[in-house]
Structure 1
Amino acid sequence: MNKTYCPSLTEYKRRVARVVNIGEVALGGNNPIRVQSMTTVDTMDTMGSVEQTLRMVAAGCEYVRITAPSMKEAQNLLEIKKELRKRGCNVPVIADIHFTPNAAELAARIVEKVRVNPGNYADKKKFEEIEYTDSTYAAEVERIRERFRPLVKICKQYGTAMRIGTNHGSLSDRILSRYGDTPLGMVESALEFLRLCEEENYYDVVLSMKASNTQVMVQAYRMLVQKLDEEGLQPYPLHLGVTEAGEAEDGRIKSAVGIGTLLEDGLGDTVRVSLTEAPEAEAPVARMLIDRYTNRAELAQPIAPLVGEMPINPFQYIRRVTREVANLGGQNVPRVITDLSRLPNLEYADLRAAGQLYSPFLDKFQMSDLGADYIYTGQRPAPFMLPNGLKELVDYTAWRDAGHREEHFPVFTPAEYAVTAVRHPELNFVFQNLASLTGPVLDKLRADSTVVVILYSDNEHAMPEIRRAFFELMSAGVTCPVVINRQYPDLTPEETQLYAATDGGGLLLDGLGDGIVLSTELLPERSKEEWLTTLDGLNQLSFGILQAARTRMSKTEYISCPSCGRTLFDLQETTAMIRKRTDHLKGVKIGIMGCIVNGPGEMADADYGYVGVGKGKIALYRGQEVIKKAVPEEAAVDELIELMREDGRWIEKEVMEEPVGV
């Protein structure tokens, strides 16, 4: 099996794509990775679209996409573009097309680039399974090609670029019937259109493989690159994005898990971070993700290249096989360890940083849904009994000096682990990095049924080095559980959030990792309260990464679109309202879509859907089945909750009791 999908698994090398000129801003080749976003104003509102575009450009957008759902919007792109040029703004404009080939053909004469979705450009989606013979399938493909060919010719004539943008949730019934709901189906959907472009000698094409599920998204992009190489097609530029990522922290984490994983391997030529927020909020996040790689090759330390075949399948999620040690590894969900080792004078109330909420009035703890499984206290063990279920890791020397306490689990340095015979009878942890995994160490790890490795890297190219260490363990037949450890000193909270999601999420997406621990340096000038807030943030971030990688569901997941001119209600306000009512429903996935284009298909794996279908009208879905078709907007959230109640998935919020009158 050909597993090659990137220039190097160990050295930072950016894939060299074909250069595509989009207006005056070239894409691919040695050009910088570009940033783009999409307007949310009604396309018929010329001045509103222009003003929003100017704000987006000021925020860092290098391309601006505008929806054109019909001929009238496509025609109005000319007025928007005229006004932008009149104001001295030459940003390339991209027309976003769904369902309407005639609008695409008109827009291609006006703007610098058109985006088409092969799932709905000339196909229909009725969620029907269709039986095809090879000949009937070929006939359907030819029908699609004939409908698509005029657009290709127009784009070639006018020098207009095109993005063939596959979305996981809007694969056609034809593709689903042939390939199933798979990354391969996404890739083949795009390649059908791309092959026609090449037949017409039209090469100004950009490709994307977007999904809300980060596992599917990453696998599809990787497979696309592999298929392009395998078929001898041009190395077309890649537009990266996690569709319907959501809002706030969750949206940023999910975007970084998907986009960052691909950037780590040198894939990607343009990025759009899809947040349910104002579009000008997206560009700074995309820029922060991209800028991490500006000097990556120069700053990275060499990593030993992989010998032999990669021991994982990069196109399919398969979790690394590990033995179970306590509640780590095996079939257990990945565990979260909160690092409190640098926090002095640990008190009851400080455990809130690990998701354990202490009430002095009741003298008891209540664990939140984001309660850590372990805390690491280093040389400062907790001077009190921990709440039930929370376990403590301490440095080996502190464990030894305290008399081998059973409720403490020792953490060894590589040197200590090599020479120390006395260990906890059930569970021991040892720090390791790629350099320390020598032959004797691998032999010892393979034979030790009580050990869990905490795997770290100080390399600037950290995620690939940790992945390389996993490969070393797998090749040596070592099956002990592994906790991913990343440390982020001297970073802003925003950088830490995106970098940790990239590093941890990228490994988890490949089935690597049985836990995560994020660490930071505690600067002396900051107060203890400030550091507790920081540590609480890292604990929440750990759970967010596990959820975004689809490896541990600990909270409600919102698959919400970022809004555009098609949206039929205020997405930001509605998402906030639904979140307020439902954010305690652990593991439930709710899709919030502004229109039918981003409706049942785009929220492909949501449990419930809230979709705009008309002015003030909402359709409610159970999975991909519409249950209520035209619910008044003011009653829709209550009706959504009632639907969950009928399914036995609704629970009331629990509120922790607090002292009264004290």
Structure 2
Amino acid sequence: MDYFNYTRRTTSEVQIGDTPLGGSNPIRIQSMANVSTMDTDACVQQAVRMIDAGAEYIRFTAQGVREAENLGTIRSLLHNQGYFTPLVADIHFNPKAADVAATHVEKVRINPGNYVDSVKTFTHLEYTEEEYAQEIEKIRQRFVPFLNICKEHHTAIRIGVNHGSLSDRIMSRYGDTPEGMVASCMEFLRICKEENFQDVVISIKASNTVVMVRTVRLLVQAMNAEGMQYPLHLGVTEAGEGEDGRIKSAVGIGALLSDGIGDTIRVSLSEEPEAELPVARKLVDYITSREGHPPITGKLSSPYNPLAGYPRNSRIVGNIGGNHFPVVISDRRNGNFEFDYSAMPDYIYIGNEDPDNLPDTFQLIVDAHSWKERPNAFPFFIASEAKIMRNYPAPVKFIRLSYPHLTPEMIDILKQDPAVVVILSTHHRNGVGEQRAFIHKLWTAGCNAPVILHREYRERNPEWLQLKAGADFGALLLDGLGDGVMLYDEEISPELEDKYMFAILQAARLRISRTEYISCPGCGRTLYDLQTTIARIKEATSHLKGLKIGIMGCIVNGPGEMADADYGYVGAGRNRISLYKGKECVEKNIPEEEAVDRLIQLIKDNGEWR
């Protein structure tokens, strides 16, 4: 990849029915049904709604052979109605179902963590080298016949690794780590390569965006080392719903798309499947609009390693930089001083407003020509005023710059004044690349001035702003670049902008300001009303700051895939729920009508209720 200029990663082409993936094809979008695969009419109706909403692939769960067989019926009925969108079978724990599904649909997804290995027990097992090799051979013996069925029926496969659903064998050697996820995937890819099976797509997902992005980058590096160019399916698992689900997906998926990585995406929302498609299309269109942008000249700073997540170490200026949480700066130059106190910004930019008109409780950023020396007011400069900054006796000074302003003279000014904080703006079509180039140039020059990432948009639609800002800020924040964020959209209320900035920082795992919900989108395995339940749990717990609560439709997505949740609410059967503390199941088979109250009591019993 070119770290500063947008180009798509070169991949091999995979034939999936009449909709090929990878190669020179556009980035495809897809979704997954959340009704029972045995409810044929419901599946057909939902598939039609997804296709009409833009889906280029439709996935159904297939828990067993019956479900796998019924996919053939669903496919025939869709064809009879004139819908030829490829279908994908989603398989967990049942290789025989994968064999059957491969004869009926265009693609089959298998999970290496449970394709051959038994259900994980989270116990540490010791394997000798010989025993480990025997386990790999066991995979090969079961996997190769499946590949032969796929060859015979021209069926593609997806090797789909999920964080938290690694086998005990992989866990014993690598732990629940990005390296373990990559190792699990590569075991299956090597067999595909040896068997000359080319129609392979890979996904390697997590609900933690930091883990997701680092793991995909590690996988690309591992494939490059072994001469593999398989296309990638991107997604943030259990992203949730509403604005949180959109922002979290934009942060994770957008960061990788910005690097040119990704050939198909699914935005996993705990909503109706057809609601995912417009979100995915907007995100893809926004990132790919950078194609052919004016080139950016940049050079990576030598300490930086995108695979190691090495952050830039900035100096401390007030409460900005160093090991401080990234700050949120709210642009209130329009005179709106109404606030949502659940998303209260650290600083307020008031333009040329007289700071004496506002309370001392606010940290104010004031245009330099209107600045008054007082404890809570800090001057704001533009590039042409850089030379006069030294005349202002303020403990914190802000200067707005963009990449063309970063001359050797400007770097010297930033180095010499320890009170300066840069507000980094861009209007380049590839703003992520230009802001990266600015920060790396500072880094290489030995200038450790803190940098606030600043972006301006003109979006009337809040969803567009959530996706664009999530993707743009997320790509830089996940790289360890940026000591704060500042967002402005003249069409959106500043209270919403503040809320989105905090949500982006939380999605990037840099500043936890509220409860995080790790909720799956649901599928045919879900045996309770997922969307209603999420709403009830949110209503009861949204005031709890810093907790992570997993809400999973079934045992496939829990406890493993909510691996870092503090508490888990997991479907155990029809209208039956099990509760988890971390990875430990503490209450089993609770009636659904009692489960939310029992979850609240569990949190209280552990002293984490406020």
* TM-score, structure 1 normalization: 0.90
Structure 2 residue 343 is matched with structure 1 residue 370:
yes
**Cα 1:131/1:424, change in 2 over 3 Å:** farther
Which residue pairs with 2:317 in the alignment?
325
The answer as to whether partners of 2:296 and 2:434 remain within 8 angstroms in 1 is yes
2:504 corresponds to: 545
- Alignment correspondent of 1:65: 59
Alignment equivalent of 2:366, drawn from 381, 386, 394: 394
Shift of 1:383: 5.0
Query: Residues 28, 543 of structure 1: CA spacing in aligned structure 2 closer, same or farther, 3 A cutoff?
Result: same
How far the C-alpha of 1:147 sits from its partner, in A, is 1.7
Offset of 1:387 from its aligned partner? 5.8
Q: What is the aligned partner in structure 1 of residue 590 from structure 2?
A: 631
Work out which of the residue numbers 273, 278, 293 in structure 2 matches 1:279: 273
Distance 2:316 2:268 in 1: 38
Aligned to 2:556, the other structure's residue is in SS state: coil
The residue type equivalent to 1:351 in the other structure is: E
Aligned pairs for 1:434-513 (under 5 A) are 434-490=403-459, 492-513=461-482
Distance 1:310 1:85, change over 3 A: farther
CA distance in 2, matches of 1:137, 1:475: 45
Residue deviations 1:575-612 (CA, integer Å, cap 9, x gap): 01100000011110000000001110010100000001
Question: 1:310, CA displacement in angstroms?
Answer: 5.2
1:302 aligns with 2:295: yes
> What's the counterpart of residue 78 of structure 1?
72
Preserved contact between residue 381 and residue 389 of structure 2 (Cα < 8 Å)? no
The equivalent residue for 1:608 is 567
Taking a change above 3 Å as real, the CA distance of residues 171 and 310 of structure 1, as seen in their structure-2 partners, is farther
2:63–2:97: 8 Å Cα contact kept in structure 1?
yes
CA distance in 2, matches of 1:435, 1:507: 19
Q: Structure 1, residues 412-458: CA drift from partner, whole Å, max 9, x if none? A: 11221224431233111111222111112212222322111111111
SS at match of 1:146: helix
Query: What pairs up with 1:526-545 in 2 under 5 angstroms?
Result: 534-545=493-504
Counterpart-to-counterpart distance in 2, 1:404 and 1:128: 61
CA deviations on 1:634-658 (whole Å, 9 max, x unpaired) are 111111111111111001xxxxxxx
**Aligned equivalent of 1:517, options 468, 475, 486:** 486
CA distance in structure 2 between the partners assigned to 1:449 and 1:41 by the alignment: 59
Task: Choose the corresponding residue for 2:26, options 20, 23, 32.
Answer: 32
Which region of structure 1 is more displaced relative to structure 2, 413-422 or 105-114?
413-422
Give the counterpart letter for 1:621 in structure 2: Y
Is 1:291 aligned to residue 275 of structure 2?
Answer: no
- Residue number in structure 2 paired with 1:380: 353
| Mapping for residues 615-626 of structure 1, pairs under 5 Å | 615-626=574-585
Deviates more, 1:39-48 or 1:634-643: 634-643
1:582 aligns with 2:555: no
- Provide the rounded CA distance (Å) in 1 between the counterparts of 2:254 and 2:311: 20
Query: SS at the partner of 2:577?
Result: strand
Given that residues 168 and 186 in structure 1 are in contact (C-alpha distance below 8 angstroms), is that contact kept between their aligned partners in structure 2?
yes
Equivalent position of 2:92 in the other structure: 98
The 3-state SS of whatever aligns with 1:446 is helix
Rate the CA distance shift 1:412–1:118 in 2: closer, same or farther, 3 A.
Answer: same
Correspondence for 1:108: 102
1:63-89 alpha-carbon deviations (Å, 9 max, x no partner): 000000111101111111111111111
Report matched runs for 1:131-530 at 5 Å. Answer: 131-233=126-228, 235-298=229-292, 300-306=293-299, 311-341=303-333, 343-344=334-335, 346=336, 350-352=337-339, 355=340, 368-382=341-355, 384-386=357-359, 388=361, 390-399=362-371, 403-490=372-459, 492-521=461-490
Q: d(CA) in 1 for partners of 2:49 and 2:607?
A: 45
After superposition, the C-alpha distances for 1:267-303 in whole angstroms (9 at most, x for unaligned) are 11111000000000000000000111343223x2321
2:13 partner amino acid: V
Establish whether residue 558 from structure 1 lines up as the match of residue 517 from structure 2. Answer: yes
- Write the deviation string for residues 189-234 of structure 1: whole angstroms up to 9, x where unpaired: 111001101111101000111100000101111111111111122x
| Cα pair 1:310 1:471 within 8 Å, conserved | no
Whether the aligned pair in 2 keeps the contact of 1:337 and 1:515 (CA below 8 Å) is yes
* SS of equivalent to 1:96: strand
Task: Provide the C-alpha distance between the structure 1 equivalents of 2:44 and 2:390, rounded to a whole number of angstroms.
Answer: 70
Q: Percent identity?
A: 52
More deviation in 30-39 or 513-522?
Answer: 513-522
Secondary structure of the 1:53 match is helix
- Distance in 1, matches of 2:539 and 2:599, equals 13
Preserved CA contact (<8 Å) 2:390 2:417:
no
CA distance in 1, matches of 2:383, 2:475: 25
- Separation in 2 of the partners of 1:276 and 1:387? 42
In structure 2, what is the Cα distance between the partners aligned to 1:139 and 1:613? Answer: 33
Residue 529 (structure 2) aligns with = 570
Deviation at 1:404, TM superposition (A): 3.0
Alignment root-mean-square deviation, CA: 1.4
